[in-house]
């Protein structure tokens, strides 16, 4: 098929996550340092994600399509201190903080009952309930290790359909001494 430009907005728009029904695409916009939601319809309308002065990134729609997990830097100053937040989707509601002490790159378990994220070298897991309301347990360390990070800022792991993890282990440096 032919490539079609869906938006005409300043800066770069980086895709993050599709809604399960394929009708919405969550993206990160470099000009505003925030997320937007692109409707995949004839108008291709964009709804900015309300963020005030915060930087919102890494948006990941839940398997049931009702929740969005993302990283937020409340100071909006570009520092590395992000926390993982969950909010209703597509109509935003109250924000629920998931991480404690930092986090990036959230990813839902395929069954929607856990949320994973990275905190430095730690992979964290949080048991969650999405129905009838959202609630989350305390984060737990799932495993820790030194994994390859992409040259461009982005999630460096994925979760398989059966709940496994796919990551690239950082190579060992040669011992010359």
Which of 26, 20, 74 has its CA nearest to residue 47?
A: 26
Answer whether 104's CB lies under 8 Å from 58's CB.
yes
DSSP 164-175: -EEE-BPPPPP-
Report the 3 state secondary structure along 85-124.
Answer: EEEECCCCCCCEECCCCCCEEEEECCCCCEEEEEECCEEE
Higher pLDDT, residue 108 or 53: 108
Tokens read off for 130: 């999405």
57 vs 141, residue with greater confidence: 141
The yes-or-no verdict on residue 174 having pLDDT over 70 is no
pLDDT tens-digit map of 6-37: 677 777 888 899 999 999 999 988 888 888 89
Residue positions counted in the chain: 177
């Amino acid at each position: 098929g032919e490539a079609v430009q869906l938006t005409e907005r300043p800066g770069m728009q980086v895709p993050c996550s599709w809604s399960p029904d394929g009708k919405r695409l969550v993206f990160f916009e470099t000009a505003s340092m925030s997320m937007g939601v692109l409707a995949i319809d004839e108008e291709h309308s964009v709804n900015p994600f309300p963020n005030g002065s915060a930087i919102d990134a890494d948006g990941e729609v839940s398997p049931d399509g009702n929740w969005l997990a993302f990283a937020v830097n409340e100071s909006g100053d570009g520092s590395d201190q992000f926390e993982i937040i969950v909010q209703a989707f597509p109509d935003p509601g109250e924000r629920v903080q998931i991480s404690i002490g930092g986090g990036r790159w959230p990813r839902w378990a395929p069954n929607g009952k856990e949320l994973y994220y990275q905190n430095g070298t730690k992979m964290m897991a949080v048991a969650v309930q999405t129905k009838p309301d959202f609630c989350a347990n305390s984060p737990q360390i799932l495993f820790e290790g030194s994994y390859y990070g992409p040259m461009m800022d982005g999630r460096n792991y994925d979760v398989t359909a059966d709940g496994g993890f796919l990551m690239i282990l950082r190579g060992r440096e040669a011992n010359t001494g």
